[in-house]
Amino acid sequence: MPCYWLYREIGEAYRGCVSPEPVYQDWLAIYQSAEYADGLKRQIDLLDRVAEQLPEAVLTEMRRDFLISSYAELAFWDMGLKRKNWNGSDKDGELATY
């Protein structure tokens, strides 16, 4: 869910911006679309309905997993920003930590 949700947030943050690269403009258009927003809302609503039926121990695991996934998304974007290698180190050999 964090990836799905984050892309919508990024799309909204860049609403009104135009990329000189058509592929990125197409990417923004997808995540800014009403259809994408509606799909995300349906997923969040579904997860909320399911969560209402679950015991606290399972909800605790779900929250932990959501946070882990969120950190993985952060690491993914940070890797591109800092031009990290797949092994997690940047050009100076510094490892990413979160």
**Would you call 17 a catalytic residue per the annotation?**
no
Q: How far apart are CA 26 and CA 10, in angstroms?
A: 13
**Would you call 56 a catalytic residue per the annotation?**
no
Which one of the listed residues 12, 17, 73, 94 is annotated catalytic? 73
Which one of the listed residues 3, 9, 17, 94 is annotated catalytic? 3
Contacts of 62 (CB under 8 A, 6+ apart): 51, 54
Catalytic residue numbers read 3, 73
